Amino acid sequence: MASGVYNRCKKNLMTSMDLENDTIKVMLLDSNHSFNVDHNTKADIVANEVSGSGYSAGGQALTNKSLTQDDDNDKAYFDADNPKWQDSSITASHAIFYDDDLDDDDLLLSVEFDQSYTSTNGDFELVLDSDGILEVS
C-alpha cells in the first residue's frame, strides 16, 4: 500500500479528542431510544436516560482510561475499566459514551443491547472487549 495512515496518527486522532485526559462518561438509555448517527450532544438523547436506585443522572465516568498504539497489527485502541452500577435497580437497552468535559457533552459511541436488561438490587455491568472500547485501524 503506497498511501495510508500512520499508526501514530490513529493514536493521535484519539489523543486530540483527549479521550485519555477528558472525563469520558457512559450513560444508560431505555428502549425508547434509537441510534441516530446525526445526534451530536447529550441533549439529543438525554430524554430517554434510565432512572432507578444505584444510578445517577449522566451516568458514570470511565476509570483507568488508556490509549495504545499497536504497530504489530497497525491499530490503536481506547480502553478503560468495565463500568458497573453496583446495587442498582435499572432497566436499560443502550449505553452511550460521551465527553463530559466538552461544553455540550459531545457524543462518542453508542452500543445497543440485543434486548432490555433489568438489574434488581444487583450489579449492572458493561463487560468491555478485552481490546477495549474503540479501535482505529
**Contact residues: another protein, CB under 8 A:** 1-5, 9-10, 77, 95, 109, 111-115, 117-137
Query: In this structure, are strands 60-61 and 24-29 parallel, antiparallel, or unpaired?
Result: antiparallel
Q: Rounded CA gap, 31 and 1, in Å?
A: 44
Which three three-digit cell numbers place residue 1?
500500500
Q: Rounded CA gap, 105 and 29, in Å?
A: 16
Residue 8 CB, shortest distance to another protein, in Å, is 12
Residue 74 CB, shortest distance to another protein, in Å, is 10
Cβ proximity to another protein: between 66 and 118 the closer is 118
Cβ proximity to another protein: between 2 and 57 the closer is 2
Cβ proximity to another protein: between 47 and 109 the closer is 109
